[in-house]
Amino acid sequence: MSGVFRVGGDEYDAFMGRYSKVLAPLFADFAGVEAQSRALDVGAVTGALTAELLARGASVAAADTSPEFVAVLSERFPDVDVREAPAESLPFESGDFDIALAQLVVAFMSDAPAAVAEMARVARRVAVCMWGVAEVEMFRAIDATAEAIGVTRGGEPRRYRTSQEVNDLLAPHGEVESAELDVTAAYRDFDEFWEALDHVVGPAGQWLASLDAGQREQAHEELFRQFGSPQGPFELKARAFAAAVTPA
Ligand SMILES: C[S@@+](CC[C@H](N)C(=O)[O-])C[C@H]1O[C@@H](n2cnc3c(N)ncnc32)[C@H](O)[C@@H]1O
């Protein structure tokens, strides 16, 4: 685990949670989560998906590698069985769950194929999803900005960011069902976007934190331009690639 998301729950929610909250119902629909489903949320972080699963009447357990997020989850969802554990080695018995879901996690795992095999051990069905790169307006604008100011982003995981890669990850376990999940995130204004990016959440936030004062100013100007110089509220679109499998 790269540790790139080791920030507070509120900071995560401001930057990425606003997207994962609206993604969660689409992902749960695609995965086929129903009332009474026994569901495991892998890489749950602040619980955007956990909340959706509970709202559907599923019985939910959650796992994450980050002690900080495990603490946030336990506080937010006192009735959920929250474990500090890697997906590659889940502390559950075989067949404990109807479904194991990993929303926006596989790219950050140290061994995603092993994690998927482990999810398939503990659950009857496995579903994963990851953002695209060019298909996410926020990431596309940050990449274009990095290029424009000559400080490119490096070293971040960009695995499992296409439909093909996500499907291939699940293919060893059976016939893969796939979908594209489109969401929109709303911002009050550009300042709200900038503040969320400035919380140093994930690879994009780390990139901003690596800039010197002059580069920061250039990045601010260029990003504002990339979004069409919004004077008030604006929205950004994002697409996730989802795949699910029910091993025989
Ligand atoms: C982008 S967040 C996903 C958050 C959440 N599922 C959501 O939709 O908002 C990725 C998180 O997955 C967790 N993670 C990374 N590797 C993991 C692994 N091998 N097993 C379980 N969780 C992992 C980390 O806490 C990391 O911050």
Q: How far apart are CA 164 and CA 85, in angstroms?
A: 28
Q: What is the residue whose two structure tokens read 């080695």?
A: 89
Task: Give me ligand 1 centre to Cα 229, in Å.
Answer: 32
What confidence score (pLDDT) does residue 1 get? 33
Atom index in ligand 1 nearest the CA of residue 12 equals 9
Task: Kindly report the number of other CB atoms within 10 A of residue 184's CB atom.
Answer: 11
Q: Which of 13, 15, 16, 45 to mutate to test the pocket of ligand 1 (most atoms within 8 A of CB)?
A: 45
Q: Which of 46, 65, 88 to mutate to test the pocket of ligand 1 (most atoms within 8 A of CB)?
A: 65
**For 133-171, what is each residue's pLDDT tens digit?**
999 999 999 999 999 999 887 656 689 999 999 999 999
Task: Give me ligand 1 centre to Cα 214, in Å.
Answer: 33
Q: How far apart are CA 14 and CA 192, in angstroms?
A: 9
Atom index in ligand 1 nearest the CA of residue 202 equals 1
User: Which residues have C-beta atoms less than 6 Å from ligand 1?
Assistant: 1, 5, 16-17, 20, 42-45, 48-49, 63-66, 69, 86-88, 103-105, 108-110, 115
Torsion over CA: 64, 65, 70, 73 (sign): negative
Would strands 81-84 and 123-131 be described as parallel, antiparallel, or unpaired?
unpaired
What confidence score (pLDDT) does residue 16 get? 87
Task: Give me ligand 1 centre to Cα 57, in Å.
Answer: 23
What confidence score (pLDDT) does residue 214 get? 96
Looking at the whole model, is its pTM more than 0.95? Answer: no
Residue with CA at minimum distance from ligand 1 atom 9? 20
Atom index in ligand 1 nearest the CA of residue 111 equals 19
Q: Are 24 and 52 contacting, i.e. CB atoms less than 8 angstroms apart?
A: yes
Q: How far apart are CA 240 and CA 27, in angstroms?
A: 9
Q: How far apart are CA 164 and CA 13, in angstroms?
A: 28
Task: Give me ligand 1 centre to Cα 44, in Å.
Answer: 6
What confidence score (pLDDT) does residue 11 get? 84
HSE (CB half, 13 Å, CA atoms) of 26?
21
pLDDT in tens, the chain (248 residues): 335 555 667 888 888 889 999 999 999 999 999 999 999 999 999 999 999 999 999 999 999 999 999 999 999 999 999 999 999 999 999 999 999 999 999 999 999 999 999 999 999 999 999 999 999 999 999 999 999 999 887 656 689 999 999 999 999 999 999 999 999 999 999 999 999 999 877 788 889 999 999 999 999 999 999 999 999 999 999 999 999 999 98
What confidence score (pLDDT) does residue 212 get? 95
H or E stretch at 241: strand 234-245
Residue with CA at minimum distance from ligand 1 atom 25? 66
Q: Are 153 and 208 contacting, i.e. CB atoms less than 8 angstroms apart?
A: no
Burial class (CB in 10 A: 0-12, 13-18, 19+), 233: exposed
Q: Domain coordinates of the chain in residue numbers?
A: 9-133+157-186+236-245
Domain 9-133+157-186+236-245 carries which CATH code? 3.40.50.150
- Residue 240 Cα distances to 80, 131, 145, 159, angstroms: 26, 4, 22, 13
Q: In the structure encoding, which two tokens stand for residue 135, read together? A: 């298909």
